[in-house]
Structure 1
Amino acid sequence: MKPTARQSTASVSDGLKAFSRLHDFIKPYYFRILLAILALIIAAAATLALPVAVRMIIDKGFLPAQAEIINSYFLILLTIVLLIAVFAAIRFYLVMWLGERIVADIRSKVYQHVIRMEPQFFEITRTGEVLSRLTTDTTLVQTVVGAGFSVTLRSSIMLLGSLFMLAITSVQLTALILILVPLVILPLLVFGRKVRRLSRTTQDLIAESSAIAGETLSAVNVVQSFVLENFFSRRFESSVTLSFEMALTRLKARALLSGFAVLIIFSAIMGVIWIGAQLVIAGQMSIGELSQFLIYALIVATSTAALSEVWGDVQRAAGAMERLMELLNTQSALPAQAKPIAIKHGITHPIHFDKVGFNYPSRPEQQALTDFTLSMSPGETIALVGPSGAGKSTVFQLLLRFYDPQQGKIILGGVDISKTDIHQLREQIGIVPQETVIFAADVWENIRYGKLDASNGDIYTAAQAAAADEFIQKLPEGYSTFLGERGSRLSGGQRQRIAIARAILKNPPVLLLDEATSALDAESEKLVQEAMEKLMKNRTTLVIAHRLATVLKANRIVVMNHGKIVAIGKHQELLSQGGLYARLAALQFGDSYDDHLITP
């Protein structure tokens, strides 16, 4: 999801439009915002009262006769300082809480959106890039929504309040300051646009680095087996260096912006003070008034400088917010039905593939399934057999509705699955994939993912049925043993038995088995096969078969090649017909038909 040229050259206003979506996240916390603004107004008003007190002290003089008055003024000053301290602390806490809460909500919203995207989305978007947006980009947004928002509110109120008090103190000097304001604002807008563009590019480059790291670390065994450590280290270093160089370019622009703002602001203030000094000499202004004006002028200068710094952060965050909004605005290729048709729960349903034609979006020129028609009766077991690329896994993915077919339809329990609720559909289906996924959690939790409200007793029963209990009991902490990332503490067969237990616990009416026993030894396979046979009773089961034992026990065998069904029948029938099935059987089994792989 790299930026297009149009996105990279968008105007400042276009970049800031991304922040309009923040309203949805801010809305629940309006009351806290009002409290923060109230605390800010009180603290700002107290701060703006300080120069007035200073002027009175100076103009009243420091004569002994004025001692009591001076003491009262200093008491007022102390009270003002106390008010500033208390309400500034309240304002800081409320605003920073708001920033943390909103960013947490954004992260949660983006994750909830992405986790529901179909596989097509992840074919073109790397996981590392998504993680970069969830972490780095949201952190940048937090700088604006939290501290940046606080500084902006405080500096804006202080700037407006100080300009008002300057006008009361001296209209002539205030007019000079206002003439100089455009000299500060215009460069901010020009440089701010460049900073936002550079920030967007920097974030894209950081995401690229994250994607490389995530991809290689998740496959570290393969990287090390092929001695690719140096190659990927150089590749990662090149990506990091490129992002560093782009960050330097952005920092130079920020530095130039900040330096220019400080130069213009304080040069203007010094000029105005010089003119004020001439007015004091001429008797047109008192020393106390000049002091008051000087303090307000300094507040204007520091507030403007703070706003210029925040503006740079806003531009960086605008680029990050654009990237986050891209994720949130990405629509699923599987539209949700406004009024989905319900599938009866817990009933063994017939399944019908009606002239299904499909090609993967990333490979539009290659047909994955062509005129695929197949009917399955309730409780029937069908084995899918064929060479690699025949379309067996595609059948699974379409039934789970990871994709919608371009032609034809799939019927489950009399309902077109494209017209039902996708989550309800998947609740009816249990799957044991060949490449087992084990999460970084203990055994209890990994099996419980099959049914989140299952008791420990249910999990224990499912593990026994999957012939997993014996090896689980031997783990250091039994069912409470942490299995490591991707199940690194288990063997391939053990991981597969955990996945089988998960499917058994789910207890679905439809089963999809991608040769669920392919990684087991002979003894474990026998135990699991017995458990699977019990599980498959009264369930509609679709199996991608690699082993002869699976083929022999299927009600029907569907032979596939190049996305088409080339034969359907039982083992002996298909052998007698010759063709692809007989060639695969002869190639893999020879005359003995031992329990070996049926596909190359």
Structure 2
Amino acid sequence: MSTTNNGQPEARELKKGSLAAFKGLMPFLKPYRNRFLIAGIALIVAAGSTLAIPYAFKQMIDLGFGANAGVRSATHVNQVFLALFAVATVLALATAARFYSVSWLGERVTADIRNAVYSHVVQQSPEFFETTKTGEVLSRLTTDTTLIQSVVGTSISMALRNVLLFLGGLVMLFVTSPKLTGIIIGLLVLTVLPIVIFGRRVRKLSRDSQDRVADASAMAGEILNAMPTVQAFTHEKLEAQRFGGSVEGAFSTAMRRIQARAFLTMLAIVLVFGTIVFVLWLGAHAVLEGSMTGGDLGQFILYASIVAGAIGALSEVMGEAQRAAGATERLLELLAVRSDIQDPAQPQALPPRAANGAALSLADVSFSYPSRPDTLALDHVTLDVKPGETIAVVGPSGAGKTTLFQMLLRFYDPQSGAIRLDGTDIRLLDLHTLRGAVGIVPQDTVIFSADAMENIRYGRADATDQEVIQAARLAAAHEFIERLPNGYKSFLGERGVRLSGGQRQRIAIARALLKNPPLLLLDEATSALDAESERLVQGALEAAMVGRTTIIIAHRLATVQRADRIIVMEDGRIVETGNHQSLVALGGIYANLAALQFHNVHVTH
């Protein structure tokens, strides 16, 4: 499935109608065919039992209360009531079986869809998350899947049940009185057209309503993740007002949908029941004239009620189906998005790991972000890194340093040029193989809602507790973790709110060291550390660099002076290369940066 420039899927055929939208659910329904069969049998038995009840009433009226009623008819009445109770018992058992089966299906299919959507989303490239709000994805995972649960677990069953009741009731109406039934069908056909036309408007409003709810969720998620900033700038009331406006917009859209559905329901009931009342009026006159029995009219009334009730229920179900169709489209859109970053059809293997790390080369690499296609983030970059070499990358903000790291992890592919790891183009490697060979300590450390042990173990899921502790020691994190209330079992809070910036950084370093990759990427790895922690971590990192290739991004030049080579970037290009002394002597960008930083350090002291 292709996507548009803004990352959204192109319009698809399924948007033409709600039934087409539900076709996309078939892969999730097929594994449970047996359950559907059980539910279908129970459904048919329940519908048949319901349709048998009016006939029993006809027998009761004609045999028990008709002109020929007598002593002998009491036996028939008793038999009819016993049969009626037996039918009711069968109806109860079949209804319970149908309810259990379809409810199980609704829960199971919804869980499968949630798993499929989440598994699909987490495999998308960063380009997807540039254009899609997290809150919108969460809304689709929760609200939209709940609507689908309602359809699979209730609405489909109700729709089939009422279709059976409608068709069966219609047949019995013909059997009872073909003339009256012909009149009622002709009038019902005239009532269906306005209901169908107005139903389309309900469907559009249903989709708009879901979109507004997703917008509100996205806004709430964004603000809640930035509460320290919001409160620091005293924007609490402003953000509350913004969210309130978004909620009110969603409410207004929902009210339009509710009003449209209410009018649709009213229209359906008035038209359908008006038709039935008119026909029953004709039937009453037929009884008075002697062309129908009282039992026939009673039976006709009950079957007409069943048919009318089925039509009313179907209009209600259609309203739910219209709403769920919009939710289904949104989920299928999410599942249809395909990342531009895909595993090759026949991935190559990396050569055995060398003792001193991985070789890396960039050959004339150029790249522009999808959101900024006219600006080159990397402009014809060529770089060769030997195994075991430590490269420092410096330059002003926006020079392309972080982009370089994203390319090495293959979060994006270059528009031209090639990147090779140990001589193999990284586009020919399985993504797990490539990323398994690369360790990264990002500038913005991610701490998960788990304990310290599990946060470090994220670097290698099969690591033992002792290996985790050893990695923490190397990252100078062991001491502060031990001082936590429960040591390594201490919960670190959402996004690590219980830790300082330096402590979060050391957890991230321990995670990367535990992974033990041949290529290590350090993005401002010591930027959040105090002087003492920086000294400890710098020593740990220097020890960790032994036996692996390391690339360091740093604004603080004091941390890169001991690198084998320093690469200076500006506007996506490599403009200077050398060691600290040679670059200072060159008198270029690096020399200016060094003069500014070391002058400031000198003044401070």
- Please give the range of the TM-score, normalised by the shorter of the 2 chains: over 0.9
**Relative to 1, partners in 2 of residues 1:327 and 1:417: Cα closer, same or farther, differing over 3 Å?**
same
Separation in structure 2 between the aligned mates of residue 263 and residue 591 of structure 1, nearest angstrom: 83
Structure 1 position 400 matched with structure 2 position 409: yes
Structure 1 position 429 matched with structure 2 position 438: yes
Once the two structures are overlaid, the 10-residue window that deviates more, 66-75 or 208-217, is 66-75
Q: Which residue of 2 aligns with 1:32?
A: 35
**Paired residue for 2:551, among 542, 553, 557?**
542
- Partner-residue secondary structure (3-state), 2:569: strand
Separation in structure 2 between the aligned mates of residue 531 and residue 9 of structure 1, nearest angstrom: 54
Separation in structure 2 between the aligned mates of residue 484 and residue 153 of structure 1, nearest angstrom: 49
**Counterpart contact for 2:399–2:569, Cα < 8 Å:** yes
**Relative to 1, partners in 2 of residues 1:349 and 1:12: Cα closer, same or farther, differing over 3 Å?**
closer
Separation in structure 2 between the aligned mates of residue 361 and residue 503 of structure 1, nearest angstrom: 29
Q: Which residue of 1 aligns with 2:247?
A: 240
**Paired residue for 1:556, among 560, 565, 575?**
565
Q: Which residue of 2 aligns with 1:355?
A: 364
Separation in structure 2 between the aligned mates of residue 134 and residue 513 of structure 1, nearest angstrom: 34
Q: CA deviation at 1:577?
A: 1.6
The count of residues paired between Structure 1 and Structure 2 equals 596
Q: Deviations over 1:472-496 (max 9, x none)?
A: 1111221111111111111101111
Separation in structure 2 between the aligned mates of residue 111 and residue 100 of structure 1, nearest angstrom: 17
Q: Which residue of 1 aligns with 2:134?
A: 127
**Counterpart contact for 2:449–2:492, Cα < 8 Å:** yes
Separation in structure 2 between the aligned mates of residue 394 and residue 150 of structure 1, nearest angstrom: 52
Separation in structure 1 between the aligned mates of residue 163 and residue 291 of structure 2, nearest angstrom: 31
**Counterpart contact for 1:381–1:540, Cα < 8 Å:** yes
The code of the aligned residue for 2:403 comes to: T
**Which residues in structure 2 correspond to 1:114-513 (within 5 Å)?**
114-344=121-351, 346-347=353-354, 348-513=357-522
**Counterpart contact for 1:8–1:197, Cα < 8 Å:** no
- Partner-residue secondary structure (3-state), 1:149: helix
**Relative to 1, partners in 2 of residues 1:346 and 1:40: Cα closer, same or farther, differing over 3 Å?**
farther
Q: Deviations over 1:449-476 (max 9, x none)?
A: 1111222222122112211111111112
The code of the aligned residue for 1:40 comes to: L
Q: CA deviation at 1:345?
A: 5.9
Runs of 4+ displaced beyond 4 Å: 1-12, 591-596
The code of the aligned residue for 1:161 comes to: G
- Partner-residue secondary structure (3-state), 2:387: coil
Separation in structure 2 between the aligned mates of residue 127 and residue 8 of structure 1, nearest angstrom: 22
Separation in structure 1 between the aligned mates of residue 470 and residue 429 of structure 2, nearest angstrom: 32
- Partner-residue secondary structure (3-state), 1:590: helix
Structure 1 position 21 matched with structure 2 position 27: no
Separation in structure 1 between the aligned mates of residue 130 and residue 470 of structure 2, nearest angstrom: 38
Q: CA deviation at 1:557?
A: 0.8
**Counterpart contact for 2:14–2:329, Cα < 8 Å:** no
- Partner-residue secondary structure (3-state), 1:560: strand
- Partner-residue secondary structure (3-state), 2:340: coil
Structure 1 residue ranges without an equivalent (≥5): none
Separation in structure 2 between the aligned mates of residue 577 and residue 116 of structure 1, nearest angstrom: 45
Separation in structure 1 between the aligned mates of residue 597 and residue 466 of structure 2, nearest angstrom: 42
Q: Which residue of 2 aligns with 1:525?
A: 534
**Counterpart contact for 2:49–2:90, Cα < 8 Å:** yes
**Counterpart contact for 1:355–1:372, Cα < 8 Å:** yes
Separation in structure 2 between the aligned mates of residue 477 and residue 5 of structure 1, nearest angstrom: 46
Q: CA deviation at 1:593?
A: 7.5
Structure 2 residue ranges without an equivalent (≥5): none
**Counterpart contact for 1:548–1:594, Cα < 8 Å:** no
**Paired residue for 2:55, among 32, 52, 55?**
52
**Relative to 1, partners in 2 of residues 1:4 and 1:413: Cα closer, same or farther, differing over 3 Å?**
closer
**Paired residue for 2:100, among 90, 93, 96?**
93
**Counterpart contact for 1:9–1:197, Cα < 8 Å:** no
Once the two structures are overlaid, the 10-residue window that deviates more, 403-412 or 134-143, is 134-143
**Counterpart contact for 2:418–2:425, Cα < 8 Å:** yes
The code of the aligned residue for 2:41 comes to: L
The code of the aligned residue for 2:180 comes to: L
- Partner-residue secondary structure (3-state), 2:25: helix
How large is the RMSD of aligned CA atoms in angstroms? 2.3
Q: State the identity as a percent.
A: 54
TM-score by length of 2: 0.94
